[in-house]
Amino acid sequence: MSTLTVQLGERSYPIHIGRGLLHRAGEFLKERGIAQKSPLLIVSDEHTASFYLATLESNLQKSGYKTESFVVKPGETSKSLAVFEQVITAAIQGGLDRHSAVIALGGGVVGDLAGFVAASYMRGVKFVQIPTTILAHDSSVGGKVGINHPLAKNMIGAFHQPELVLYDVDTLSTLPPREVSAGLAEMIKHGLIWDANFAYWCRDHAADLLALDAAALEYGLEKGCSVKAEVVSRDERENDLRAILNLGHTIGHAIEAIAGYGEFLHGEAISIGMVGSALLGVKLGADPALVEVTRDMLSSLRLPTSLPAHLDTDRLLEAMMHDKKFKEGSITFVVPRSIGRVEVVKDIPVSDIRQVIEQLKEEA
């Protein structure tokens, strides 16, 4: 097992990454001082629960915890106000008190939803992340929790850091191939924004990563989590630096929202968005090879790199205006300057973004 730390003073917390950790969950919760007398609420989704909920419950109960659980439908549509209310109802009915903790067992959807429940229930209770997707190496670290509005992604939420991230890489063995690729989009993003060598490493080890080779996965997850932890430790509330974690998300979030949170997985949408950002980077002076290298990296991970023509350009632009990155009347973009180096650029002209969207469609 390896352990990283998100450094936030008194609110610092560990990220444990390794094998067999689900069977030791109770031990780690006790270590972090999670109360045993108050019930825990485990939030999961139907897929994840069918594989791992019984193991987690049995371990926690053996360790002296009382557990309640609530299982949501899989997929992005569970990040909604309606499902949020259902989970809050389960917390009240399960007798959770102010010393209880909410545990997210699942991918980013469950993590964001359960985290927002933890942030809101009785004005905030403790929260534990047990990520079970590759993508969730990103979502489980950093404390951004929340749900979607039909008009815009992640529009309702909070910053609420977990007490602990417990990443049992054995759980990744049951992931469907499409989810593996989608998760690798956020992994390579951490290279593209921070560490060129890591981005090239992801490309060069694509076959191992796609085959869920244990050594490659553990290295990639550790590296991805360490970039995320470093950025969050320096700028928890996205005052400046943290914005770079949004590479590909200006276009990506717009794709997810106008496609109704179903057609594209988050990782797929941001993959297309990262190619869009590279196209914009070239417009703003980067080496034109940047686009081809970025496309090649993402294709090697079996990710989409172009926009289907049926996604309407005006609707995409309109969705970008509802995003959190639309501020003081202009759209902010994370723009790559080279592999591993990005800059946050304000006031990108809408005409440039329109051109980029059309270029992304031409490639389809």
| Site for ligand LNCXM5UN, rule CB under 6 A | 138, 142, 144, 153-154, 186, 238, 242, 245-246, 249, 324
Q: Which stretch binds ligand NAD (CB under 6 A): 26-34, 169-177, 277-285, 348-356?
A: 169-177
* The pair of three-digit structure tokens given for residue 311, joined into one six-digit string: 């996604």
Q: Which of 2, 18, 36, 75 is in the footprint of ligand NAD by CB under 6 A?
A: 75
* The pair of three-digit structure tokens given for residue 187, joined into one six-digit string: 């992994």
| Site for ligand NAD contains 48 (CB under 6 A) | yes
Contacts of residue 114, defined as CB under 8 A and 6 or more positions apart, other chains included, come to 41, 43, 87, 102, 103, 104, 127, 145
* The pair of three-digit structure tokens given for residue 29, joined into one six-digit string: 């919760």
| Site for ligand NAD contains 242 (CB under 6 A) | no
Q: Tabulate helix, strand, coil % of the chain (nearest 5).
A: 55, 20, 25
State yes or no: 250 annotated in a binding site.
Answer: no
CB of 342 to ligand NAD, least distance (A): 17
Which of ligand LNCXM5UN, ligand NAD, none does 74 bind, CB closer than 5 to 8 A by kind? ligand NAD
Q: Which stretch binds ligand NAD (CB under 6 A): 63-71, 139-147, 281-289, 326-334?
A: 139-147
Q: Which of 83, 130, 135, 199 is in the footprint of ligand NAD by CB under 6 A?
A: 135
93 phi and psi angles, rounded to 5 deg:
-65, -30
| Site for ligand NAD contains 325 (CB under 6 A) | no
State yes or no: 66 annotated in a binding site.
Answer: no
Nearer to ligand LNCXM5UN, 242 or 295 (CB): 242
CB of 124 to ligand NAD, least distance (A): 17
Q: Which stretch binds ligand NAD (CB under 6 A): 68-76, 118-126, 215-223, 343-351?
A: 68-76
Nearest to 189 by CA among 175, 180, 202: 202
State yes or no: 312 annotated in a binding site.
Answer: no
| Site for ligand NAD contains 112 (CB under 6 A) | yes
CB of 238 to ligand LNCXM5UN, least distance (A): 6
Nearer to ligand LNCXM5UN, 156 or 210 (CB): 156
- Asked if residues 339 and 196 have their Cβ atoms less than 8 Å apart, the reply is yes
State yes or no: 350 annotated in a binding site.
Answer: no
Query: How far apart are alpha carbons 162 and 143 in whole angstroms?
Result: 6
Left, alpha or beta for 14 (phi > 0: left; psi -120 to 50: alpha)? beta
The H-or-E segment that residue 17 falls in is strand 13-18
The amino acid sitting at 278 is: A
| Site for ligand NAD contains 195 (CB under 6 A) | no
| Site for ligand NAD contains 108 (CB under 6 A) | yes
7 phi and psi angles, rounded to 5 deg:
-90, 100
Contacts of residue 77, defined as CB under 8 A and 6 or more positions apart, other chains included, come to 83, 261, 262
- Asked if residues 43 and 105 have their Cβ atoms less than 8 Å apart, the reply is yes
Query: How far apart are alpha carbons 279 and 196 in whole angstroms?
Result: 18
Interface ranges with ligand NAD (CB under 6 A): 45, 47-48, 51, 74-76, 79, 106-110, 112, 132-133, 135-136, 138-139, 142, 144, 154, 171-172, 174-175, 179, 182, 186, 265-267
- Tell me the binding residues for Zn(2+): 186, 249, 266
